[in-house]
Amino acid sequence: MDLATIEKVVAFVGALIVFAFALVGLRGEWPKNGLDDNVTKVLLGLMAFGCVLVVLACFGVLPHGGGGA
Amino acid sequence: MAVSVATHGHDAHDDHGGHDDDIIYQETRDMRLMGFVLFLVSDVVLFSSYIFAYIYLRNSIQPNWPPIVDGHQLPRLDTAFAAFNSVVLFGSGVTMHYALESWKHANKGRFNLFMWLTIFLGLDFLGGQGYEYAHAQIGGWSGNIFGASFFTLTGMHGIHVFLGVCFLFALWLQTQRGVYTEHRFFGLTAGTLYWHFVDVIWVVLFFLFYLW
Amino acid sequence: MAQRVVKPKTNLGPGFWPVTAFIAVLSAVMVYLVETSPLPIGLIQAGAPADSIDALFRFLGAVAAVIFNIVVIYTIYFGIVFARPKGAPPNTIGVQIHDAPVLEFWWTAIPTILVVILSIYSVKIWADLQNSQGDVLTVEAIGYQFGFQFRYPKVKGLVNEMHLPLNTPTTIHVTSRDVIHGFWIPELRMKADMVPGLINTIRVTPTVPGTYHIICSEFCGVAHSAMDQKMVIESQQAFAKWFARQAGGSGSSGGGGTAIAIDKGHADAGQKLFGQKCSACHSVGPFDQKQVGPGLGKIFNDPAHPKLVNGDAPTPQNVAKIIQSGFQGDMGVMPSAQVNQLSNPDIANLVAYLASLSKK
Amino acid sequence: MATVAPGVPTGPYHAVLDHIHPEPTSFIRKYVFSIDAKVIGIQYMITGGIFFVIAGLLAEIIRTQLLSPHGAILSAATYNSVYSMHGSAMVWFVVIPLLTGAFGNFVMPMQIGARDVAFPWLNLVAFWIFPVAGVILFSSFLVGAPDAGWTEYPPISLQGPPGTNLWCIAVFLIGISSTMTGINFLVTIYKMRAPGMTFTRMPLFVWAQFATTPLLFIATTALGAALAALFIERVFGVPFYDPKRGGSPVLWQHMFWFYSHPAVYIMIIPGFGIISEVLPTFARKPIFGYKMIAFSSVAISLLSFSVWAHHMFTSGMVPWLQLPFMIITMVIAIPTGVKIFSWMATLWGGSINWKTPLLYATGFLITFTYGGLTGFFLAAVPLDYHEHGTYFVVAHFHYVLYGGSIMSLFAGIYYWWPKMTGRMYNEKLGQLQFWLTFIGFNATFTPMHWLGLLGMPRRVATYDPQFQFWNQFASISSYVMALGTVLFFYILFDSIRNGKKSGPNPWGARTLEWMVSSPPPYYNFKKIPAVLAAPYDFGNPLPYLGLEAAPGATEATPTSASHPVPTY
């Protein structure tokens, strides 16, 4: 197993954990309505989206064509 | 003349000093919060400008990306490592969120744990960026437009992360010195928002430089 | 409140209708003058886009004149009629009216309609320009500090002047070698920025023969104001002749004319010319007293710099050559005599002046 | 616990005075590093005034140079620096700080019934960046001032003299200052209005400042990014704009105009606000179409973000993209036109008191209409092909920036001068000054329209001799304008020395700043008033409750026992 694979495995597992906790945090935040709470909702949501991107990267869905030329 | 003046509930509070103080705190906190969010908005514009520049420069030399410099095709950046490093940063965002939640629930032990986890993950991310900078074979900062965009944007983000780590550390020191209470912790709110903002900027940069 | 209550005037004032009539008549006269003017902006139309652009100018001019008359004349009229009469108490108030929805609706709706009409008309003319015929002749124009050069099909190298044949739809691709320049022929009403690394295109069809100017309209450096070059629109026969000469000859430089009579130069005339044409970039001190270019005060006998910037020996002939053909090198860029509008006797005078400086 | 009079709500700035910062006593804390928005506003005014004089002198040098087609006094290189500095200084160091920093700070908090802005310390920092940046800007003359115009298009600005770096730093700093001011004002207006002052009861100057704030903290940041990239490219050789190394010069133009077109509205919307205050006061009738004027400011502000590329019709972009930019630019004329008609209608039926501020306001109305109409000629893409980069453009933007912004500044200074100093100015001299400025201005800039149409490009040190007559005409007229400006400073000087006391409300105006003494006391209001209506109903009782001993406010109604609180 080369370094890149290890990195991908760690990233994948980490992304799932972070995604889960981000969603739990988001659910806790959802009923609140202050300005800071609303901004946090948006930012936590985007962070969860970032985890999705990481998962996609781990499976090589993105970038298309596997990089390089 | 019709006098239309709204009357409101909280007008029976002129007896105990503490109550008045609370209202003053609440109003100033709301103003500071709004000001801070507007500051974040203007920072978003700062990043957006450079992101626009990156997309513009990239489109100007389509379809070769990364560009060909002196007849030599530049390699793509290391996506696997970046994915790992991204998870580190996103993770720190989540721990920061839980740190603030712990503070709101007056759980000091958990607050300290999550705070230090956040600072540690932030530093880890910065170390990873250093590693990335040392290994990115894209001609350095001033070599070509790819290097220029990459190092400028991620460098600016890195400075934000570094300032964020300092910010969080200062906040932690303040909590140890008892600056914040269970009900008054605007600094922690601001720090959390700032740290989330830094993370979310990275979502965009990660996509632009590694996944596009 | 007040000791003497002056009732506010609520009508339109005594002269409202006469003033309105005056506005109408004045506007009608102005619209008539603008619309019937053959050359509304006072420049001749030397080719195709000019007439449609002038048509747009007339239309906008007419609309603008009407709006301007209405705003200015009514403002002045209201100002005079509703001025507080002398002796009225200072707290006399005006009509307490906040708005008039019908009026506001109309003065929002009418400008909206006007904007729509103007947009449609502008888009139509814009589309005409985009779809206008070109490509019968394709010329490439290249800006540099400080002049224009041109590449014609089938002509080797670059030529230093632009000739266009009559009634020939022509596409001009413009670009630049160094910084951003502008390519503007006012008589054709056409302009494009010459951006390095980018090719912009304009299409024209010249119809009136003559000599016109190509003017740089984007700031490009110290001699930007001198970047003004002649261009010629001529009959197709004359153009064919000129073109054959370019295609046959070396094509590179427009010079090759008569030799410069160096010994006939006058230092006094040269000094005057130097002040007008050269002193923006050159001092009359020693070489090192550099402004944009080197100092020229000791050009013929400077022990520290025994050679000219291009490596030639400092003879009057060689100096004249640099003035004539310009210079481009690590010292910077100097425009040619053609760009600087220097005739051969001018060059001789300049050389004589420089020689007189070096003798001091 | 401090005592709170009945009927006056509490809150941080609504609290009684000793609850917050006590009035400073030392000179330094009172007048130099003050956190009082009024002092900061006057500091902005003085600093901006100094820069106005310098930049104005540069303008006179430009006009003197153009007396002769060969350039009368300067070499081309120096001339290029002079006009570049004139433009940069006037835009960033005169008009923007004066309209936002000076009037915004002095007038706006009082008009919303607040004691200060939301973040007084931020305000202090924002102000002190301004003179520092100004000194940096002008010190570039020592090392070779920037020479590529205020727009500094690369690649020519990449080759520019070392002073261009200082220019980047200076403009970057003033951008930071603007951003701070924008955030500060937005929070102030949103959160600190007096009880009962709903959005539709705000004075129109406040509306104008409100509409300007997003431009200040959003657009300015984009300029900062562009400037930082230019600086990095010049100093570290990092390629962004240099086409030889893969960069794009047009990228700078996009980033620059994404700021600088909204900046045009930063420079005019507060001016609209001033005009909307002056007109009802001197016509002694309500502003006509309050809501339309207020909302059109916001509409202009939002639309201005999507028109930047109309400065770039000739610089090479996808052709079809020109159309949306042209059409949106023309659409901006609609809210602007609505404003102009509303101002005209405000004069109708008034009891007009022809004082200098009103003269300037009507002068503004005329010249700004003219400048707006020539804007149409530039917005229409085909015509822009002819006019871009010529003296027509120079004439157009001086009509909107001098005829618009500076005229409104003059109007505002004359209008609020008694409030700032407590003294009246010499009315006769003021009117003379208006006519000198108005006539000199029009005679200077009208000929430039013809010059541009006939083929005179801008930014030239020498020009075709056929244009000499109108250039000389413009130059000599500009001296008349300069004479007017000298007279203006004499008037202010004379007023401070000999002016008679003005009292709190010499114009009989009705907005809140006139309800306190002149000059206003520290923290403006002893009690925060409650607001019952929009301020422009002349002849009605003043719509304020709880004003303590409102000086000169003969129409004030007694304090109500009810307890008004903000509705935000």
Q: Residue A63 pLDDT > 50, yes or no?
A: yes
CA-nearest residue to B140 within chain D is: D238
Which pLDDT score, from 0 to 100, does residue B62 have? 67
**Which residues of chain C does D455 touch, with a Cβ-Cβ cutoff of 8 Å?**
43, 184, 186, 213, 215
How confident is the prediction for chain D on average, in pLDDT? 88
In this predicted complex, what is the ipTM?
0.88
Q: How many CA atoms lie within 13 A of B12 on its CB side?
A: 1
Q: D 434-453 residues with CB below 8 A of C?
A: 450, 453
Please indicate if any CB of chain C lies within 8 Å of the CB of D347: yes
**Which residues of chain B does D219 touch, with a Cβ-Cβ cutoff of 8 Å?**
45
| Sequence-separated contacts (24+) of A31-37 with Cβ below 8 Å | A34/B33, A35/B30, A35/B33, A35/B34, A35/B37, A36/B33, A36/B37, A36/B189, A36/B193
CA-based angle A36:A38:A40, to the nearest 5?
Answer: 70
* Cβ–Cβ gap B38/D217 under 8 Å: yes
Q: Residue D399 pLDDT > 90, yes or no?
A: yes
For chains A and D, tell me whether 3 or more CB atom pairs sit within 8 A of each other: no
**Which residues of chain D does C72 touch, with a Cβ-Cβ cutoff of 8 Å?**
366, 369
Which pLDDT score, from 0 to 100, does residue D129 have? 96
Which pLDDT score, from 0 to 100, does residue D395 have? 96
For chains B and D, tell me whether 3 or more CB atom pairs sit within 8 A of each other: yes
Please indicate if any CB of chain C lies within 8 Å of the CB of D148: yes
Q: Residue D18 pLDDT > 70, yes or no?
A: no
* Cβ–Cβ gap C91/D284 under 8 Å: yes
Query: Which one is predicted more confidently, B64 or D226?
Result: D226
Strand C200-204 to strand C170-176: parallel, antiparallel, or no bridges (unpaired)?
Answer: antiparallel
Which pLDDT score, from 0 to 100, does residue C257 have? 45
Distance from CA of A47 to the nearest CA of B (A): 6
Assign C214 to helix, strand or coil: strand
Question: Which subunits count as partners of chain B given 3+ CB pairs below 8 Å?
Answer: A, D
Query: Which one is predicted more confidently, B4 or D171?
Result: D171
* Cβ–Cβ gap B42/D217 under 8 Å: yes
Strand C200-204 to strand C327-329: parallel, antiparallel, or no bridges (unpaired)?
Answer: unpaired
Q: Residue D315 pLDDT > 60, yes or no?
A: yes
Q: Extract the tokens encoding D84.
A: 């570049």
Which pLDDT score, from 0 to 100, does residue B19 have? 61
Q: What is the mean pLDDT of residues D437-454?
A: 95
Q: Phi first, then psi: give them for residue D354, nearest 5 degrees.
A: -75, 90
**Which residues of chain D does C83 touch, with a Cβ-Cβ cutoff of 8 Å?**
352, 354
For chains A and B, tell me whether 3 or more CB atom pairs sit within 8 A of each other: yes
Distance from CA of B1 to the nearest CA of A (A): 37
Instruction: Mark the ranges of chain C whose per-residue pLDDT is less than 50.
Output: 1-4, 250-257
Q: Residue D495 pLDDT > 80, yes or no?
A: yes
Which pLDDT score, from 0 to 100, does residue B13 have? 39
Nearest neighbour of B203 by CB, restricted to A3, A46, A69: A46
CA-nearest residue to D459 within chain C is: C219
* HEC secondary structure over D484-549: HHHHHHHHHHHHHHHCCECCCCCCCCCCHHHHCCCCCCCCCCCCCCEECCCCCCCCCCCCEECCCC
Nearest neighbour of B87 by CB, restricted to A3, A34, A54: A54
Which pLDDT score, from 0 to 100, does residue B3 have? 34
Distance from CA of B87 to the nearest CA of D (A): 28
Q: pLDDT, tens digit, for every residue of D169-207? A: 999 999 999 999 999 999 999 988 888 888 999 999 999
Q: Phi first, then psi: give them for residue D56, nearest 5 degrees.
A: -65, -40
Which pLDDT score, from 0 to 100, does residue D20 have? 53
Which pLDDT score, from 0 to 100, does residue D541 have? 85
Would you say how long chain A is, in residues? 69
* Cβ–Cβ gap B211/A57 under 8 Å: yes
Quick one: CA torsion of D352, D357, D360, D364, rounded to 10 degrees?
Answer: -80
Determine what percent of chain A is predicted with pLDDT higher than 70.
Answer: 91
* Cβ–Cβ gap C220/D290 under 8 Å: no
Interface mutation vs chain C, best among D85, D315, D358, most C CBs within 10 Å: D315
Q: What is the mean pLDDT of residues B52-65?
A: 84
What percent of the residues of chain D are helix, what percent strand, and what percent coil, each to the nearest 5?
65, 0, 30
Interface mutation vs chain B, best among D563, D567, D568, most B CBs within 10 Å: D563
Interface mutation vs chain C, best among D282, D336, D341, D368, most C CBs within 10 Å: D341
Distance CA D505, CA D551 (A): 8
B11: confidence class by pLDDT, cuts 50, 70, 90: very low
Using CB atoms within 10 Å of the CB of residue A61, give its burial: 0 to 12 exposed, 13 to 18 middle, 19+ buried: exposed
CA-based angle C91:C95:C100, to the nearest 5?
Answer: 150
Strands of A1-69 (E only): list them.
Answer: none
D550: confidence class by pLDDT, cuts 50, 70, 90: very low
Q: pLDDT, tens digit, for every residue of C135-183? A: 788 999 999 988 899 998 888 888 888 999 999 899 999 999 889 999 9
* Cβ–Cβ gap D238/B148 under 8 Å: yes
D115: confidence class by pLDDT, cuts 50, 70, 90: confident
> What's the sign of the alpha-carbon dihedral C195, C199, C205, C210?
positive
* Cβ–Cβ gap A58/B83 under 8 Å: yes
Q: Identify the weakest region by mean pLDDT among A33-47, B53-67, B80-94.
A: B53-67
Q: Residue D58 pLDDT > 70, yes or no?
A: yes
Q: pLDDT, tens digit, for every residue of B86-133? A: 999 999 999 999 999 999 999 999 999 999 999 999 999 999 999 999
**Which residues of chain A does B32 touch, with a Cβ-Cβ cutoff of 8 Å?**
none
Which pLDDT score, from 0 to 100, does residue D551 have? 45
Q: Extract the tokens encoding D311.
A: 């400065």
Q: Residue A55 pLDDT > 90, yes or no?
A: yes
Q: Residue D443 pLDDT > 50, yes or no?
A: yes
Q: What is the mean pLDDT of residues A56-60?
A: 88
D269 Cβ contact list (under 8 Å, min separation 6): D208, D211, D212, D215, D297, D300, D301
Assign C172 to helix, strand or coil: strand
C114 Cβ contact list (under 8 Å, min separation 6): C63
Question: Which subunits count as partners of chain A given 3+ CB pairs below 8 Å?
Answer: B
Interface mutation vs chain B, best among A19, A43, A49, most B CBs within 10 Å: A43
Would you say how long chain B is, in residues? 212
Interface mutation vs chain D, best among B30, B38, B58, most D CBs within 10 Å: B38
Distance from CA of C245 to the nearest CA of D (A): 31
* Cβ–Cβ gap D565/B67 under 8 Å: no
Q: pLDDT, tens digit, for every residue of B147-199? A: 999 999 999 999 999 999 999 999 999 999 988 888 889 999 999 999 999 99
Paired with C266 in beta bridges are none
Q: Quick one: angle between helices D269-283 and D290-303, nearest 10?
A: 170
Question: Which subunits count as partners of chain C given 3+ CB pairs below 8 Å?
Answer: D
D336: confidence class by pLDDT, cuts 50, 70, 90: very high
**Which residues of chain D does B41 touch, with a Cβ-Cβ cutoff of 8 Å?**
217-218
Task: Report CA-CA distances (Å) from D126 to D44, D132, D166, D187.
Answer: 10, 11, 19, 15
Which pLDDT score, from 0 to 100, does residue D21 have? 60
